[in-house]
Chain A
Amino acid sequence: MSALDRSHGQGAVTAAGDGRPTVPRAAPRSYYGLPVLNEPVWTWEIPAYFFAGGMAGASAPLALAASVQGNRRLARAASAVALAGVAVSPPLLISDLGRPERFLNMLRMFKVTSPMSVGAWILSAFAPAVAVGAGRELLGVAPAVGRAGQVGGALLGPALSTYTAALLACTAVPVWHEARRELPFVFAGSSLASAGAAATILAGPSASAPARRMAVGGATLSLCATIAMERRLGALAAPYHEGSAKPFARAAKGLSAAGALTLACASAAQGRARMPAARMRSWTGGRSSRGRPIQSAAGVALLAGAALERWAIFRAGIDSAADPAATIAPQRARRDRA
């Protein structure tokens, strides 16, 4: 049961000559508490894709920047993350279709009124760009083409990370549609956080300073946008506070905050220890791996937080669609005002 209470169609109509309600309505009326909207049929593949695609999208500009700066370790890590994210995305999306064998129909046309159509084209262009970019970084194949791919990927990636927020916002599901101002920034933040965290884990402490800053900044943006979203949704945010999304939303916030804080502290500690570490490198001739376990653990927490955040948003939408009061109450209020 939601914060907005439900009542049957008969509930609020009381004895009156004109058949109109004589008592003020505390809760919106509905048709026997049945949902107004049909529940989304999407399953776990969709939030999983939001996570994987978002991470790949934010990894692409990191790969380019690190490569240009000559930080090869980080460029390779970010390229590998982008490639992995983009490799799992199409199977996730195709398997969620009712008719998977017709997946190519997604490219029958380009429709700017359909975020899913726009996204299908972004993914179709992004995937080969990331592939040739990764070929350059990881295998040293066709460096010029690879560089062009990296540039293309860096421009398309952020669009891939955020269009999914437009996709959810452009529905009639109250908790998604009414969150349309904040959702793109929630997705942008958690894409930055997951891309930074994955690169931190793969590249190791000596090369991952930019990735760590990206992860901490992204997690902060995601947390702030999420809190702003839930505040502005008011009663519509009920699924985040008392529905099936609650444990996931809480875990997402906790893991993101803990991961970001740990990573920030570990980074600061590493910065302070820079002199001895540099001296140690000159002794050993190798890279320092000091702080790697703690940074990797923080990275895992950030990845889990970003994934759970998408799952919580997805679950909240399912609950919101099933709640007639969430659909009716704001519309009734709007009509009464008019």
Chain B
Amino acid sequence: MSDFELPTSSWQASYGEEARERVGFFTDTSLCIGCKACEVACKEWNRVPEDGLVHRGMSMDNTGGLSADTWRHVAFIEQRNAFELGDDGEGGLRWLMASDVCKHCTHAACLEVCPTGALFRTEFGTVVVQEDVCNGCGYCIPACPFGVIDRREDDGRAHKCTLCYDRLKDDQTPACAQACPTNSIQFGPLDELRAHAQDRVAQLVQAGEQGAQLYLADGDDGIGGAGAFFLLLDDPEVYGLPPDPVDPVRRLPAIWGLTALAAGTILAGVAAAVTGDRHRARRR
């Protein structure tokens, strides 16, 4: 199965003079205090509807994950025996908190499989749904390897984080980053964020935080790098993130090849079935 480079990374060229510097989020979860100000600010600014009042009873998180009505989601992970406390061998308890968001992938499966072109890449390199075009076909939902985008029940269209496209157009910081009181959510040009993230993870590892790791910070992963990447204190799956996400469209050339072969099998099958039929001998 061969992978291939999609032309989606050439968004800059397609915008010409209008192209802007690619911007994104660096979410440093080591600074997150779980206040959920990002969730609230996002809902307020983007008028995202209420996402269900349920009590999950598993942690301080009753939301569960990203959806059409949750564009920022704060995960709470309670870990017992995460580190040694004293001589008695008893372990300490720690809380991991992390604000999840759409990754605005370089190779964004949702955008690639969207049949209407409702999902598009903006001049900032972000991925946005055009609500006036989306017809709610739902293909973007299983295509996303992160479980970000979803269809809103009552209006039938797909919704997700826009990285506050309207605010970006006015040179404003996205609502979540603006509201974050600890600077856990950092917004800016992607190159600068990546450089800063490298320094920060080195600093944390040196300070003894062995689990500290960057997630989706490079361009060499299965999605060609993310516009929103993370500093995590444990493995990605602990936060509900896929450890090695791959854009399924990367395999599409091979899939199309096999599909063509299968279509040829149908033609060959029909040809074989009709060959030698006795009707040939006595046409009516």
Contacts and interface: CB of A to CB of B under 8 A. Distances in A.
B142 A171 contact: yes
A111 B265 contact: no
B155 interface: yes
A114 B115 CA distance: 6
B243 A332 contact: yes
A31 B150 CA distance: 19
Nearest to B266: A158
Interface of A (DSSP majority class): helix
A109 interface: yes
A183 to B, nearest CB: 8
A167 B139 CA distance: 9
Contacts of B112: 111, 113-114
A126 interface: no
B6 interface: yes
B242 A65 contact: no
A5 B152 CA distance: 31
B148 A98 contact: no
B254 interface: yes
Contact of A180 (B59, B64, B133, B258): B258
B128 interface: no
Interface in B137-189: 137-139, 141-152, 155-158
Given A58-B266, A69-B279, A70-B283, A171 B255 contact: no
B255 A169 contact: yes
Interface size bucket, A side? 35 or more
B284 A28 contact: no
Nearest to B261: A184
A29 B237 contact: yes
Interface string B257-271: 011111111110111
Interface string A6-41: 000110011111111000000011111011111111
A288 interface: no
Interface in A197-248: 207, 209-211, 213-214, 217-218, 221
A159 interface: yes
Contact of B267 (A61, A96, A167, A196): A61
Nearest to A57: B266
A284 to B, nearest CB: 17
B135 A217 contact: no
B30 to A, nearest CB: 13
Interface string B183-205: 00000000000000000000000
Sorted nearest first, the 8 A-B pairs with minimum C-beta distance are A98-B136, A98-B156, A31-B240, A184-B262, A102-B135, A70-B283, A158-B263, A117-B115
Interface of B: 1, 6, 56, 58-59, 64-67, 75, 77-84, 89, 91, 96, 109, 112-118, 133-139, 141-152, 155-158, 209-211, 234-235, 237-246, 248-249, 251-252, 254-256, 258-267, 269-274, 277-280, 283-284
